[in-house]
């Protein structure tokens, strides 16, 4: 199977792209700022560092901080993983202890800047950020599409976008999917690294989720609550079966982006979905039977993820063929889910 075609073939919710363009031609074209869900308390054994990094991924900085503090990398924590290609600002915590001598921050490379430095009584946990703020530049957009772009932006503000996992989830040329297919076909192909195994399992889950969501986009019900639906509370990992609330209440909360319909993060155990929703998810999982069975055999438990993504504080500017966008997304969401509803991205 040509796994590289899987992501580009996902259905669009608001019609075809209204322009073409390129992103990440320069590092400054893709800026991400993490929004922490709490304020550090100012005291304790954990030093919190708000870091701006250029052309480095999260684990690169984790290793740099570990060397700087002369500590094992396991004592350096972060809330979320960020891409290498771009400028990113995110929080790290170092379990330095109360008596650890503060290192010289100027010993870090010029591609790493410490913007804030605080203490906290607990370490930074994965997923403890509220979301991310993106500032992006799409270059090469045709000037004649400015009006169409504004119309599309209005639809995105009002309706959100499908909450697809981005192409980054699947590796270069979707090689993660090829690797997990070989692994599930032959257990001897299992990666020795626990981290790599986790990445591959996440890719397989994301494939099934995206396929379910794409079917619902095609049917026009990705942003509707169907009979038998499980709905997610916005910005949280909590969900509940829709039959536990009245139809009028559900519709009102749906319009307010307080709740969203959900799709499967595949694994063992029973989901609460029934009827049409359960039939669709079972049918889609059947197309990827080896992946669905492999995820169950690896001990992953069934979870849910919102099908709809609210795009908050969406602002845009357009000049000389450059579209500049800024918006906020909840944690775990991908900026590419927004971009693909606007422009067809070309290689730089």
| Helix or strand run (H / E) with residue 63 | helix 58-69
Reference 256, options 160, 189, 136; nearest CA is 160
Handedness of CA 135, 136, 137, 138 (dihedral sign): negative
- Characterise 296 by phi-psi region: left (phi > 0), alpha (psi -120 to 50), beta (else): alpha
Cα gap 63→59, rounded to integer Å? 6
User: How many CB atoms sit inside 10 A of residue 16's CB?
Assistant: 7
> In sequence order, what are the beta bridge partners of 51?
90, 114
Q: Which of 29, 41, 60, 83 is catalytic?
A: 83
Concatenated DSSP letters for 219-259? HT-TTS--TT-EEEETTSS-EEEGGGS-HHHHHHHHHTTSE
Residue 83 annotated to the active site: yes
Residue 281 CB contacts under 8 Å (≥ 6 apart), including other chains: 212, 263, 264, 271, 273
Enzyme catalytic residues: 83
């Amino acid at each position: 199977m040509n796994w590289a075609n899987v992501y580009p073939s996902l259905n669009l919710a608001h019609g075809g792209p209204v322009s073409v363009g390129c992103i990440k031609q320069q590092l400054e074209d893709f800026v991400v700022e993490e929004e922490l869900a709490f304020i550090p308390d100012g005291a304790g054994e954990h030093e919190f560092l708000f870091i701006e990094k250029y052309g480095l991924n999260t684990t690169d900085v984790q290793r740099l901080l570990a060397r700087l503090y002369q500590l094992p990398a396991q004592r350096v924590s972060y809330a979320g993983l960020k891409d290498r290609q771009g400028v990113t600002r995110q929080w790290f915590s170092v379990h330095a202890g109360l008596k650890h001598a503060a290192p010289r921050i100027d010993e870090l490379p010029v591609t790493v800047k410490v913007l804030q430095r605080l203490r906290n009584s607990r370490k930074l946990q994965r997923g403890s950020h509220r979301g991310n703020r993106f500032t992006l530049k799409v270059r090469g957009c045709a000037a004649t599409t400015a009006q169409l772009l504004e119309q599309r932006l209005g639809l995105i503000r009002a309706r959100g976008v499908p909450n697809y996992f981005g192409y980054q989830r699947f590796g270069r040329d979707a090689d993660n999917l090829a690797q997990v297919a070989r692994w599930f076909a032959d257990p001897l192909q299992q990666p020795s690294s626990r981290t790599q195994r986790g990445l591959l399992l996440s890719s397989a889950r994301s494939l099934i989720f995206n396929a379910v969501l794409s079917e619902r986009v095609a049917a026009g019900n990705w942003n509707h609550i169907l009979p038998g639906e499980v709905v997610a509370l916005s910005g949280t990992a909590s969900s509940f079966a829709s039959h536990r609330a009245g139809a009028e209440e559900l519709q009102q909360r749906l319009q307010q982006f307080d709740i969203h319909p959900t799709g499967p993060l595949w694994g063992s155990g029973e989901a609460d979905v029934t009827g049409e929703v359960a039939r669709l998810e079972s049918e889609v999982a059947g197309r990827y039977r080896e992946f669905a069975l492999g995820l169950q055999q690896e001990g992953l438990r069934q979870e849910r993820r919102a099908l709809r993504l609210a795009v908050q504080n969406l602002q845009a500017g357009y000049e000389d063929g450059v579209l500049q966008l800024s918006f906020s997304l909840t944690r775990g969401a991908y900026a590419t889910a927004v971009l693909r509803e606007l422009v067809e991205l070309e290689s730089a």
